Amino acid sequence: MEIYSLTLTQAREKLARGEITSLQLTEAVLFRINQVEDRIRAYLHLDREGALARAEEADRLREQGRAGDLLGIPLSVKDVLCTRTMPTTCGSRMLENFTPPYDATVIERLNQAGAVILGKVAMDEFAMGSTSENCAFQVPVNPWKEGYVTGGSSGGSAAAVAADECFASLGSDTGGSIRQPASLCGIVGMKPTYGRVSRYGLVAFASSLDQVGPMTRDVADCALMMNVIAGYDHRDSTSINREVPDYTRALVDGMEGIRIGIPAEYFGDGLDPEVERSVRRGIDMLREAGAEIVEVSLPHTRYCVAVYYLIAPAEASSNLARYDGVRYGFRDQDARTLIDMYRASRSRGFGDEVKRRILIGTYALSAGYYDAYYKKASQVRTLITDDFRQAFARCDLLVSPVCPTPAWKIGEKSDDPLAMYLSDILTISANLAGIPAISVPCGFSSDGLPIGMQMQAAHFNEEVLLRAAHNLEQRAGVVGTKPELA
């Protein structure tokens, strides 16, 4: 096996044992990127020289006896996270030439842990989309099948991890943007509890829903990344001051004493039969591992897409008001008056999906419609959260598919916004309730496309998710299967 195909945990062990150097590891990954990037198109910005310098520094530090959870490990990050030394475009023309004056807290944490950040990867513009087709610069392609979507919005992260173009990546998840591309590209992706990971320096889409999380080749790597990024940050007033466990210790063999709830509403109409079969087989494996399986109900699930597509655009319309061409971002230089400059800069800087969501959000918050739309959605959000509270009184975690179908062809849904929104139906509720959720590979379709299982747990119960995901991974035998590239 080539060293770029190792898991993060394996690479870390080889580095610790002195079998390889970070420079060799980084050169191998850069070679891999050269080899497959024309096909994958994940990287918006690749900092080769910076990465090699960081790798040499990591090797020096190791010689001096210094350690770090990610010392010398090459990673990528979604282009929604602010990086002082690299552009941060959010996949938008609006921020095409923007290099932030500071690092996001999670970037600081990666750097403190010694990571080698290779570059920034593609995403739907401002994280709005389910396929990464809304990226203004390039559309990443599913490593498992030419011409198929990676999912989104963290599609570049998922594709880069699956294609061995980095050992892990950070994504962001507002309605499934980590879990869904992880599922469609056959990797592990976790959306932590809201408040578990700092959002400082994460470019805001919908602030009450956004959360940063790891995208990795396996569950052990996910736990390791969580150890590095989780924790309180005084610069994010919504981050929660609560002790961070060692997540790698959650990977216990066996599921004895764990009760798994199967929500009937997540196995409804529109679920691809192959996805259902694969997930049900995974449930059987968890039962064989010792888990008890119970049926539960989340009766308001059918309203989650409607709630989400009012609340997320409402928050987005407010957050994206900052892009006015004054302090940073694109400015239309021909505009003669201030108002004209605002309008021209925003109209030329934003793509279609972003404009559509700003319009929905502005409408839902506007005088005369606020009660009917935003307030109503916020009330139903309470009912969705209550559904979870009642379900978690009866079980430790909920198991379901991540996405109703495997990956689809690029272009297939891009003209039908509502059809695209409905593909998020199984992932949105976790964001509305703020609970943690993980996507783990559990099988393949007859076309050879990956299928993922979603697990959701109560607030701050990431550990039970990692344990269940680890047990599924041990039995499903899917992790380690690689797409054939180059």
Partner 1 sequence: MKITREEVEHVARLARLDLTPEEAERMTGQLDTILNYVAKLDEVDTTGVGETTHSQRVTNAFREDEVRPSLAREKALANAPADNGEAFVVPKIIS
Contact by Cβ (8 Å): 452, 399: no
CB of 329 to partner 1, least distance (A): 7
Q: Which of 203, 423, 468, 403 is nearest to 309 (CA)?
A: 423
The only residue of 98, 137, 267, 444 in contact with partner 1, by rule CB under 8 A = 98
Please identify, using beta-carbon distances, which residue of 37 and 133 lies nearer to partner 1.
133
Q: Cα separation of 317 and 484, whole Å?
A: 41
- In this structure, what are the phi and psi dihedrals at residue 10, rounded to the nearest 5 degrees? -65, -45
Q: Choose between 31 and 102: whose C-beta lies nearer to partner 1.
A: 102
**Interaction residues for partner 1, span 390-429 (CB under 8 A):** 417-418, 421
Sign of the alpha-carbon torsion through 267, 272, 277, 282 = negative
Judged by CB under 8 A, the stretch of 27-35, 65-73, 373-381, 404-412 that binds partner 1 is 373-381
Distance from C-alpha of 439 to C-alpha of 425, rounded to nearest angstrom: 14
Which distant-in-sequence residues (6+ apart) come within 8 Å of 423 by Cβ? 130, 180, 403, 404, 405, 413
- Residue (171 or 325) nearer to partner 1, CB: 325
Cα–Cα nearest to 195, from 238, 228, 158, 155: 238
- Max Cα-Cα span within the chain: 70
Given 76, 92, 130, 153, the catalytic residue: 153
- Between 262 and 435, CB nearer to partner 1: 435
For partner 1, the binding residues in 34-53 under the rule CB under 8 A are none
14 is catalytic: no
Would you call 446 a catalytic residue per the annotation? no
H helices present in 366-457, as ranges: 376-392, 417-422, 428-433
**CB neighbours of 53 closer than 8 A, spacing ≥ 6?**
none
- Is residue 371 part of the contact set for partner 1 (CB under 8 A)? no
By CB under 8 A, tell whether 329 contacts partner 1.
Answer: yes
Contacts with partner 1 in 351-370 (CB under 8 A)? 355-356, 358-360, 362-363, 366
Which of 5, 35, 138, 385 touches partner 1 (CB under 8 A)?
A: 385
Does position 389 bind partner 1 by CB under 8 A? no
Contact mark string toward partner 1, 261..300, x via CB under 8 A: ---------------------------------------x
- Residue 239: is the preceding peptide bond cis (ω within 30°)? no
CB of 428 to partner 1, least distance (A): 13
Q: Is 74 within 8 Å of 51 (Cβ atoms)?
A: yes
Per CB under 8 A, does 126 bind partner 1?
no
By CB under 8 A, the count of residues binding partner 1 is 71
5 versus 208: smaller Cβ distance to partner 1:
208
Identified binder of partner 1 from the candidate list 32, 45, 120, 346, rule CB under 8 A: 346
**Distance of closest approach, residue 348 Cβ to partner 1, in angstroms:** 9
Q: How far apart are CA 331 and CA 323, in angstroms?
A: 9
Q: Is 177 a catalytic site residue?
A: yes
Closest CA to 143 of 259, 219, 33, 3: 33
From the list 130, 172, 177, 445, the catalytic residue is: 177
Residues annotated as catalytic (active site), given as ranges: 78, 153, 177
